[in-house]
Amino acid sequence: MNQQITPELRQWIVDQAQAGHSAEAVVKSMLASGWAEEVAVEAMESTLRGHLEEKAIEKAIEKGLPPSVAVPEPRLEESPLYVDAGDRRVYVLQSMRDPHVVVFGNLLSDQECDELIALARPRLARSLTVATKTGGEEINADRTSNGMFFQRGEHPLVKRVEERIARLVNWPEENGEGLQVLHYQPGTEYKPHYDYFDPVEPGTPTILKRGGQRVATLVMYLGEPEKGGGTTFPDVRLEVAPKRGNAVFFTYDRAHPSTKTLHGGAPVLAGEKWIATKWLRERRFE
């Protein structure tokens, strides 16, 4: 007998399951009609899995979730201990799937961290965030650090770091925003937020004209505090230590809290914290 799993067989399995028959009973009746056991079990499993996936997609549409888009994926399938980022070996210290968070070690040398701080320091101003109501920039009370933006590629060091990041996370350099450097003094923090632009805000369509949505964030630690200042992910109770030279990377495939990428910079309790953030967009960011 032809033991192919046809659309008719799949439909029959779904009908049986919906009529309240257990998986075991359905497999039993398949065996009774001459199906080989492995084929029957595989047909059962793959059909129900496919059916559940379809239902999940329908549900997402019903709930009005924004569509899911492609995101940068560092090549971690074989659990490498490090990634060759072109001019540097970057260590993979930890990774999580949901939310998709990766902690990298040795992304920057101490000298690179110092040099980025020195280049940024004279240009610091109270941090602005993109004002999603208007599409402009505004001072944000939830972010008490001081910051500045580099233009993409504006300095040979900035360019080198950007090329390294593109190799590391497998995403075009042109899709990155300019690096942002932030300086936190004791008592300052960055309250939990999402980095994507909220689709319901009136300024968002204007922001998205330039490169589309943000789809990933890389926070690089340039200067470590003595206490506090970790990057927190409250939905999964994760806190990443702000160790100099290391970085935390996370992606969000839709502009929605279901990505579990709510994150914040915990208050710095002692010492100073410096970070450089690279936000990655869907498309070329000019």
Binding site for ligand PD2 (CB under 6 A): 190, 195, 217, 219, 231, 263-265, 275, 277
146 or 217: CB nearest ligand PD2: 217
Tell me how far, at minimum, the Cβ of 103 lies from ligand PD2, in Å: 12
How many whole angstroms separate alpha carbon 217 and alpha carbon 41? 42
The entry of ligand PD2, Zn ion, none that residue 275 binds, CB within 5 to 8 Å by partner kind: ligand PD2
Q: Amino acid identity, residue 128?
A: L
CB of 6 to Zn ion, least distance (A): 49
- Closer CB to Zn ion, 173 or 195, in the complex: 195
**Which of ligand PD2, Zn ion, none does 161 bind, CB closer than 5 to 8 A by kind?**
none
Q: 171 and 283 in contact (C-beta within 8 Å)? A: no
Closer residue to ligand PD2 in complex, CB, 47/204: 204
| CB nearer Zn ion, residue 177 or residue 195 | 195
Minimal distance in Å, beta carbon 283 to ligand PD2? 20
Count other C-beta atoms under 10 Å from residue 3's C-beta.
13
Provide the minimum distance between the beta carbon of 85 and ligand PD2 in the complex, in angstroms, as a whole number.
Answer: 20
Interacting partner of 231 out of ligand PD2, Zn ion, none (Cβ under 5 to 8 A depending on kind): ligand PD2
CB of 179 to ligand PD2, least distance (A): 10
Question: Which lies closer to ligand PD2 via its Cβ, residue 231 or residue 246?
Answer: 231
Task: List the structure tokens of 7.
Answer: 């659309």
Instruction: Report the residue number whose CB is nearest to ligand PD2.
Output: 265
